[in-house]
Amino acid sequence: MLNKKKALSLTAGLVLAGSVLAGCGADKKAESAADGGGNSTSAPAASSTEFTFYYTGSQNVDDLWKTLIPMFEAKNPDIKVNPVYVASGTAAQPTYDKIMAAKQAGKGSGGVDLYESSIDDVTKGKNDDLWDSLSDGKIPNLNNVDQQTMNDVSNLAVPYRSSAVVLAYNSDKVTAPPQTLDELYDWIRANPERFAYNDPSTGGSGSSFVITSIYKFLPEEAIHNSDPSIESQWTQGFDLLKDLGKYVYGKGIYPKKNQGTLDLLASGEVDMIPAWSDMVLDQIAKGQLPASTKMQQVTPGFNGGPTYLMVPKLSDKKDAVYKFLDFTLSPEAQAEVVNKMQGFPGIKLSNMPQDIQDSFKGVSEGYRTFSLGDLGKDINQRWQSEVAAQ
Amino acid sequence: MSRQAKRGLLGISLVLPSFLILVFIVVLPIIGSLKESLTNDGGGYDLSNYKFLFTDKLMRSNIIFTLEVTVISSLLVLAVSYVLAVYMRFNNGFAVRWIRRMYMIPIFIPTVIATYGLMQLLGNHGWASRILYHLGQDSFPRMIYDMKGIIIANLWFNIPFTTMLLGSALSSVPDAVIESAKDVGAGRLRIFWRLILPLTYKTLLVAVTFVFMGVIGSFTAPYLVGPNAPQMLGVSMEQVFGVFQDRQLAAALAFFTFLLCSFIGYFYVLSMIKEEGMRRS
């Protein structure tokens, strides 16, 4: 009996060890296969092309692409899109590094044929000469996009959707929402514990409130400056945030994530929050936020702007990617952007149906695009030690 | 090959898989993070990260906060679980049957869902405060986004397993011992202090180890219901690593947490070795 037991546990041990080793082996194989696929410079098979698309964002971005890609593939049976979803936050940085490293090592585009990211990566890639220049000769639907937006990014990226941080408020309680930043601060002080913004390191809406408050005291052009020498001018803004700490929700409670403050607004614990317009519209539509929720942009505006699609210059499947980009900018796909995730369309509003144009009135304008580069990290760090821990 | 050698080989081959897993999954990463934590900004090696850990106001308050939460949670969990286990061991009736059926339920509810449930229950406008409001009580203490919330969550997560552990230890206390003690006239309290507690003391130690390590390394509940500052070490580690992207400081935090855990683990191992020695002699 004892021996049998021993033999049994021995087998179990070996099986366990074996499966662990096998797991490692399989992983490695998959990795090298992916590498091989990305690095191969041989022409793709004539019958079908498969390109790899890296994108990042919250769950709603993933849902959007999981809808758009099958629509595209149904129309273009000879092209297959291989989507790679990278969870939002710091996980996006490695994708950029991957493209950069592949270029430096002379290995093409590192298996990335299309990449979705913010203005920061567009600018970085412009300096590193990573992105392919796009024109309406290759992508006819680029004509639908505002030419000014294309000029801003030197035609290196396609703005396929955008959203902005706005003030979301309960219109039953707030009849005259603040129009300017100073009015907003007055409102916060006059209505203690009825305003909340989320921990800036956990979500863009809180981060936008913090950055907007800090840069209120700086010259307008500073919002495009990513030079660390500007940090000494932040003190006045941080003092303001420290002072506001006494008046925000729970006298200094900053919920986690963009959703954290939206939950507070939904339960009626606060009456006003900074929030992403697409999240607010989406949750009103689904009934998660009361219908009395309204939005207001202030002047000077919160952060906002397009999300871009970039084609790495060294990708060898550009023709297929161009077709995909053309599809993305078609009114049909843009309607999905609006309906599925309540984003502002990437193409000019005049190309969209009237009801969509109406729903974005007053919200899809007035925001500012901040590009602070790595300074955001320092703001979060200083906020944590000065404002959260005061 | 002699019988002795064969047995020895079998022994080694049985231990080898778990030993290798331990080396690759635990030992090597620890050495790696120790090395990382000693790296300073210039690429050299010194104790600057640890110095920052213990001198920075924010970090120091995080460490103290974590220890407070851990010690309070551990003590409360042990007290509640022990009372529950003793009650279930020496009583039999309607209530005991129901407790026995229900007390494992929290184990089967995913952490995130349970945490959101707690937020719904104990939040500022949650069910608890609404019910109290209708009973005429209009002030409700702040529990969510506070240390109290984390401790309540820890109770929820740790009581079932600890009760199970202590319950099995208590059921191994023979009835005969207790009955004979009663026969010679020992009172209830005396039986508890002189018999039951000494007989289950070892398991109590095991339970402390589990609860302490579970709480000190917890992330989900403190992240969702904890205050912005001070934070528990797990949450702070994630922020330092993911948001501030200071890998060295995060490694120092991780290594410090490991030291705290191994401090408790040391007593656990020590008592195990003592027990082993007693059995052999």
A187 contact partners, CB below 8 Å, separation of at least 6: A174, A178, A195, A272
| Interface contact A250-B142, CB threshold 8 A | yes
| Interface contact B239-A20, CB threshold 8 A | no
Rounded CA separation A302/A200 (Å):
14
| Interface contact A377-B223, CB threshold 8 A | no
CA–CA min distance A15, chain B (Å): 10
Nearest chain B alpha carbon to A200? B243
DSSP string, B159-198: HHHHHHHHHHHHHTS-HHHHHHHHHTT--HHHHIIIIIHH
B228 contact partners, CB below 8 Å, separation of at least 6: A199, A252, A253, A254, A384, A388, A389, B145
Give me the sign of the Cα torsion angle A102, A104, A107, A109.
positive
Helix (H) or strand (E) holding A285: helix A277-285
Antiparallel, parallel or unpaired: β A49-57 and A114-117? parallel
CA–CA min distance B20, chain A (Å): 9
* Paired strand residues for A344: A162
* Cβ atoms within 10 Å, residue A147: 12
A372 contact partners, CB below 8 Å, separation of at least 6: A211, A223, A225, A226, A379
Q: Would B85 be classed as within a structural domain?
A: yes
Q: Which residues from chain A sit within 8 angstroms of residue B230, using beta carbons? A: 389
Per-residue pLDDT of chain B (281 residues; tens, 9 = 90+): 688 888 889 999 999 999 999 999 989 999 998 998 898 877 788 888 898 889 888 899 999 999 999 999 999 999 999 999 999 988 888 889 998 888 889 989 999 999 989 988 888 778 888 888 888 877 778 888 889 999 999 999 999 999 999 999 998 888 888 889 889 888 888 888 888 888 888 888 889 998 999 999 899 999 988 888 889 999 999 888 877 878 889 999 999 999 998 888 888 888 778 877 766 65
Q: Which residues from chain B sit within 8 angstroms of residue A199, using beta carbons? A: 228
Distance separating the N- and C-terminal Cα atoms of chain A: 66
Q: Which residues from chain B sit within 8 angstroms of residue A389, using beta carbons? A: 57-58, 61, 228-230
| Interface contact A267-B242, CB threshold 8 A | no
Query: Residue A258 in contact with residue A275, Cβ under 8 Å?
Result: yes
Q: Which fold has domain A49-162+305-360?
A: D-Maltodextrin-Binding Protein; domain 2 (3.40.190)
C-alpha neighbours within 13 Å on the C-beta side of residue A273: 34
Rounded CA separation A104/A114 (Å):
18
Nearest chain A alpha carbon to B244? A377
CA–CA min distance B189, chain A (Å): 43
CA–CA min distance A177, chain B (Å): 24
Nearest chain B alpha carbon to A257? B224
B227 touches chain A (CB under 8 A): yes
Tokens 């919920």 identify what position? A255
- Residue-wise pLDDT for A262-307, tens only, equals 999 998 889 999 998 888 988 888 899 999 998 888 888 888 878 8
Query: Residue A56 in contact with residue A117, Cβ under 8 Å?
Result: yes
Q: Which residue among A9, A201, A268 sits closest to B14, beta carbon to beta carbon?
A: A9
**Residue A142 vs residues A159, A367, B164, B202: alpha-carbon distances, Å:** 10, 23, 65, 73
pLDDT of residue B155: 94
Q: Which residues from chain B sit within 8 angstroms of residue A13, using beta carbons? A: 13-14, 16-18
| Interface contact B229-A6, CB threshold 8 A | no
Tokens 């719904």 identify what position? B120
Q: Which residues from chain A sit within 8 angstroms of residue B228, using beta carbons? A: 199, 252-254, 384, 388-389
Name which of A24, A288, A381 to mutate to probe chain B: the one with the most chain B Cβ atoms within 10 A of its Cβ. Answer: A381
Rounded CA separation A128/A157 (Å):
14
Please state the length of chain A. 390
Give me the sign of the Cα torsion angle B225, B229, B232, B234.
positive
| Interface contact A389-B14, CB threshold 8 A | no
* Interface pTM, i.e. ipTM: 0.75
Give me the sign of the Cα torsion angle A322, A326, A327, A328.
positive
**How many contacts does A have with B, using Cβ atoms within 8 A?**
65
Q: Would B155 be classed as within a structural domain?
A: yes
Q: Would B161 be classed as within a structural domain?
A: yes
Tokens of A149: 């937006």
Q: Which residues from chain A sit within 8 angstroms of residue B142, using beta carbons? A: 250
Q: Which residue among A6, A13, A201 sits closest to B17, beta carbon to beta carbon?
A: A13
**Residue A102 vs residues A40, A49, B183: alpha-carbon distances, Å:** 12, 21, 82
| Interface contact A252-B145, CB threshold 8 A | no
The range of the structural domain enclosing residue B157 comes to 56-280
Q: Which residue among B21, B124, B239 sits closest to A20, beta carbon to beta carbon?
A: B21
CATH of residue B211: 1.10.3720.10
Q: Which residues from chain B sit within 8 angstroms of residue A244, using beta carbons? A: none
pLDDT of residue A22: 44
Q: Which residue among B10, B16, B243 sits closest to A201, beta carbon to beta carbon?
A: B243
Domain definitions of chain A by residue range: 49-162+305-360, 164-304+372-387
| Interface contact B243-A253, CB threshold 8 A | no
Tokens 């220890």 identify what position? B67
pTM (global) more than 0.80? no
Count Cβ neighbours within 10 Å for each residue of B157-185 and write b for 16 or more, e otherwise. bbbbbbbbbbbebbeebeeeebeebeeee
Rounded CA separation A46/B50 (Å):
59
Per-residue pLDDT of chain A (390 residues; tens, 9 = 90+): 445 555 555 555 545 444 444 444 444 333 334 443 334 444 444 468 899 999 887 777 888 899 999 999 999 999 999 998 887 655 566 788 888 888 888 888 888 899 988 777 888 888 888 899 888 888 888 888 888 778 878 889 988 888 889 999 999 999 999 999 999 999 999 999 999 999 988 888 998 999 999 999 998 888 877 788 888 899 999 999 999 999 999 888 898 888 889 999 998 889 999 998 888 988 888 899 999 998 888 888 888 878 889 999 888 888 899 999 999 988 888 888 888 777 888 888 777 877 777 777 666 677 887 777 778 888 988 999 889 887
Two domains, one topology: A49-162+305-360 and A164-304+372-387? yes
B57 touches chain A (CB under 8 A): yes
| Interface contact B245-A254, CB threshold 8 A | no
A316 contact partners, CB below 8 Å, separation of at least 6: A41, A43, A44, A108, A109
The count of domains in chain B is: 1
Q: Would B228 be classed as within a structural domain?
A: yes
Tokens 């590192």 identify what position? A110
Q: Would B178 be classed as within a structural domain?
A: yes
Q: Would B26 be classed as within a structural domain?
A: no
| Interface contact B125-A254, CB threshold 8 A | no
Q: Would B25 be classed as within a structural domain?
A: no
- Residue-wise pLDDT for A336-354, tens only, equals 888 877 788 888 877 787 7
Angle at B240 between CA B239 and CA B245, to 5 degrees: 110
A261 contact partners, CB below 8 Å, separation of at least 6: A196, A197, A198, A205, A206, A255, A270, A273, A274, A275
Rounded CA separation A53/A116 (Å):
8
**H helical segments located in A2-91:** 2-39, 59-75
Coil, strand, or helix at residue A38?
Answer: helix
Nearest chain A alpha carbon to B236? A384
Q: Would B19 be classed as within a structural domain?
A: no
| Interface contact A6-B10, CB threshold 8 A | yes
Name which of B243, B244, B246, B253 to mutate to probe chain A: the one with the most chain A Cβ atoms within 10 A of its Cβ. Answer: B243
pLDDT of residue A274: 95
B25 touches chain A (CB under 8 A): no
What CATH number belongs to A164-304+372-387? 3.40.190.10
Distance separating the N- and C-terminal Cα atoms of chain B: 31
Angle at A188 between CA A186 and CA A194, to 5 degrees: 155
